[in-house]
Amino acid sequence: MKKNPTKQKVIDAASFLFFQNGFHGTSVRDIADKATVNVSLISYYFKSKQGLLEYAVTQYYEAYLETIEASEQEHEGLPPLDRLKKMIEAIIQYKQDNHQLSCFIQRELSLDSVFVREMAVTYLAKENYVISNAFYAIFPGRIRKHLDNQFLLMQLKGMLITPYMIQHEWKNQIVDEFSHHQFVKKYTKTIDNWLDYVVAQSSEMTR
Residue of 70 and 207 predicted with greater confidence: 70
> In the predicted model, what is the mean pLDDT of residues 46-68?
93
Average pLDDT over residues 192-205: 86
Nearest Cα to 94, choosing from 60, 134, 142? 60
pLDDT at residue 106 in the model: 87
Residue 61 pLDDT exceeds 90: yes
Task: Work out the percent of the chain whose per-residue pLDDT is above 70.
Answer: 86
The CATH class given to the 1-47 domain equals mainly alpha
- Per residue in 73-123, pLDDT tens? 999 999 999 999 999 999 999 999 999 899 988 888 877 677 767 776 788
Supply the pLDDT for residue 97: 92
- Contact assessment for residue 23 and residue 108, using Cβ atoms and an 8 Å cutoff: yes
Query: Residue 58 and residue 61: Cα distance in Å, rounded?
Result: 5
* pTM of the predicted protein model: 0.88
Residue that wins the pLDDT comparison between 141 and 7: 7
Angle ∠(124,171,97) on CA atoms, nearest 5: 45
Helix (H) or strand (E) holding 38: none
Return mean pLDDT, the chain: 87
CB 104 within 8 A of CB 19: yes
Residue 38 pLDDT > 90? yes
For the stretch 36-42, contacts whose Cβ atoms lie closer than 8 Å and that sit 24 or more positions apart, written own/partner, are 36/9, 37/6, 37/9, 37/10, 41/6, 41/10, 42/10
Neighbours of 135 (CB within 10 A): 23
Q: Are 22 and 113 in contact (CB under 8 A)?
A: no
Task: Report the pLDDT value the prediction gives residue 1, as an integer from 0 to 100.
Answer: 46
Instruction: Report how far residue 207's alpha carbon sits from residue 191's, in angstroms, rounded to the nearest whole number.
Output: 25
Label residue 140 by pLDDT band (50, 70, 90): confident
pLDDT reported for residue 143: 64
- CA dist., res. 50 & res. 143, Å (int): 45
d(CA 183, CA 80): 24
Q: What is the pLDDT of residues 80-89, one digit of tens each?
A: 999 999 999 9
- Rounded CA separation 62/94 (Å): 12
Q: What's the confidence (pLDDT) of residue 121?
A: 77
Task: Give the start-to-end residue ranges of the domains of the chain.
Answer: 1-47, 56-205
The architecture of the domain spanning 56-205 is Orthogonal Bundle (1.10)
Amino acid making up residue 18: F
